[in-house]
């Protein structure tokens, strides 16, 4: 009886509302361990094999700070990626490091939370930052240091949790690009980057985010606002590479919408089937590669308008189909996502009929 009670204690979840599961066990020192083979079965199916996923994750984990995760880095590195089987166990902390900082980590939130509840173990992270926000911040810092400085001129300064509007708001990441470097520190571009997780997709939060961005732009009119959705972070880094500089998806798509315009009539911008093709021309639009439906150009522009939250209506002239875009709505979007001077330049170049 004593042995049975002891075993029950050892294997009972830290959160007693959870059922017991064979993926977990405890050592004699009450240290939680995770069966790596079973853990992989719980993850959304990745591209390629289990071995490829683990090998990629090992490489990503190696870049973490050794003073914080040194023991976990060594343990993860000691497991051969092609020898994982039902007898492969790692500590719960190492499993959480894999889930949080390894390959496809943005898809593993549910499993990560389950491991945390079951074991009662939570990895250290900066106050005010979510788990995935910390991961994104490290990727951003590394990207700036190892890639962005090589494809642009000048120096970069990255700050986290930047206070704005007298402390009313905190911006996740603020980047200053001193494009003359040390020669003239008064000349710089400002990028205010928000890492948006699932709750930002709710309508009420989208309204709050819009109001927040508007107030921040009043304080920093020449700032570029960038919102990176948690499930688009890898695509966003690719966008920045292709653009040779920091930019958001909305800003890139706004340039496509401007390129597609054939003129202004009253309070509407007219985009027709012919003018929409201009947005797909790499010589006229640097962001042409972002647009879908090259054979149906208006459909791709319509997607861009929806992504940017710009009001429009469908119409038809005697010769073609049209999108009639609200000039006021477009103007509002330009001033939200772009520096004020850049927004003014675009609006001045939308020639009236």
What are the tens digits of pLDDT across the range 88-131? 999 999 999 999 888 877 778 889 989 999 999 988 766 556 66
Q: Do 113 and 7 have their domain in common?
A: yes
Q: How confident is the model at residue 10 (pLDDT cuts 50, 70, 90)?
A: very low
Q: What is the pLDDT of residue 126?
A: 61
Q: Do 25 and 87 have their domain in common?
A: yes
What are the tens digits of pLDDT across the range 118-167? 999 988 766 556 667 877 888 899 899 888 888 888 889 999 888 889 88
Last residue of a domain, one of 68, 99, 119: 119
Last residue of a domain, one of 243, 267, 287: 243
Q: How far apart are the first and last CA of the chain?
A: 90
Q: Do 135 and 108 have their domain in common?
A: no
Q: ∠ at Cα 208 (194, 195), nearest 5°?
A: 15
Residue 8 maps to a domain = yes
Measured torsion, CA atoms of residues 291, 297, 298, 300, in degrees rounded to the nearest 10: -20
> Among 124-133, 236-245, 261-270, where is mean pLDDT lowest?
124-133
Q: What is the pLDDT of residue 344?
A: 94
Tokens 């304080």 appear where? 219
Residue 276: name the closest of 227, 312, 249, 247 by CA.
312
Q: Do 312 and 341 have their domain in common?
A: yes
Residue 6 maps to a domain = yes
What are the tens digits of pLDDT across the range 30-40? 899 999 999 98
Q: How many domains does the chain have?
A: 3
Residue 138: both structure tokens together: 């490290």
Residue 341 maps to a domain = yes
CATH number at residue 227: 3.40.1350
Q: Do 210 and 257 have their domain in common?
A: no
> Among 3-17, 138-152, 195-209, where is mean pLDDT lowest?
3-17
Rg for the chain, CA atoms, rounded: 25
Using CA atoms, how far residue 206 sits from 197, 212, 248, 309, 340, in Å, is 12, 10, 16, 10, 21
Q: Do 96 and 168 have their domain in common?
A: no
Residue 125 maps to a domain = no
Distance (Å, whole) CA 247 – CA 189:
12
Instruction: Find the helix or strand (DSSP H, E) in which 329 lies.
Output: helix 327-337
- Provide the pairing of β-strand 223-229 with 189-196: parallel
Strand partners, 279: none
Which 8-state DSSP code applies to residue 185? Answer: T
Q: Do 173 and 223 have their domain in common?
A: yes
Number of separate helices (H) and strands (E) present in the chain: 15, 11
Domain that holds residue 309: 249-348
What are the tens digits of pLDDT across the range 159-194? 988 888 988 888 999 999 998 776 677 789 999 999
Give Cβ neighbours of residue 141 (< 8 Å, ≥ 6 apart): 158
Which 8-state DSSP code applies to residue 352? Answer: B
What are the tens digits of pLDDT across the range 57-79? 898 888 777 888 889 999 999 99
Give Cβ neighbours of residue 240 (< 8 Å, ≥ 6 apart): 143, 148, 246, 247
């Amino acid at each position: 009886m004593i042995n049975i009670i002891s075993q029950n204690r050892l294997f009972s979840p830290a959160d007693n509302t959870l059922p017991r599961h064979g993926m977990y066990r405890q050592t004699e020192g009450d240290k939680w361990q995770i069966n790596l083979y079973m853990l992989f079965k719980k993850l959304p199916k990745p591209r390629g094999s289990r071995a490829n996923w683990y090998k990629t994750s090992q490489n990503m984990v190696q870049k973490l700070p050794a003073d914080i995760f040194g023991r976990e880095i060594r343990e993860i590195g000691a497991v051969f990626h092609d020898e994982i089987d039902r007898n492969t166990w790692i500590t719960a902390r190492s499993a959480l490091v894999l889930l949080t900082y390894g390959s496809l980590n943005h898809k593993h939130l549910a499993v990560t939370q389950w491991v945390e509840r079951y074991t009662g173990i939570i990895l250290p992270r900066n106050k005010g930052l979510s788990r995935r926000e910390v991961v994104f911040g490290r990727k951003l810092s590394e990207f700036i240091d190892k890639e962005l400085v090589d494809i642009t001129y000048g120096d970069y300064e990255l700050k986290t949790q930047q206070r704005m509007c007298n402390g009313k708001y905190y911006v996740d990441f603020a980047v200053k690009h001193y494009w003359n470097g040390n020669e003239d520190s008064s000349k710089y571009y400002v990028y205010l980057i928000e890492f948006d997780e699932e709750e930002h997709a709710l309508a009420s939060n989208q309204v709050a985010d819009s109001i927040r961005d508007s107030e921040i732009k009043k304080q920093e009119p020449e700032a570029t606002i960038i919102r990176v959705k948690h499930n688009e972070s890898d695509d966003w880094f690719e966008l920045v590479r292709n653009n040779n500089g920091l930019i958001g998806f909305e800003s890139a798509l706004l340039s496509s919408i401007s390129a597609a315009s054939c003129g202004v009539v009253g309070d509407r911008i007219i985009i027709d089937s012919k003018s929409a093709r201009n947005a797909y021309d790499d010589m006229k639009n640097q962001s042409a590669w972002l647009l879908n439906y090259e054979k149906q150009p208006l459909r791709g522009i319509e997607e861009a308008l929806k992504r940017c939250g710009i009001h429009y209506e469908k119409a038809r002239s005697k010769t073609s189909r049209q999108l009639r875009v609200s000039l006021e709505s477009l103007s509002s979007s330009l001033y939200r996502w772009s520096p004020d001077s850049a927004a003014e330049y675009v609006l001045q170049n939308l020639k009236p009929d």
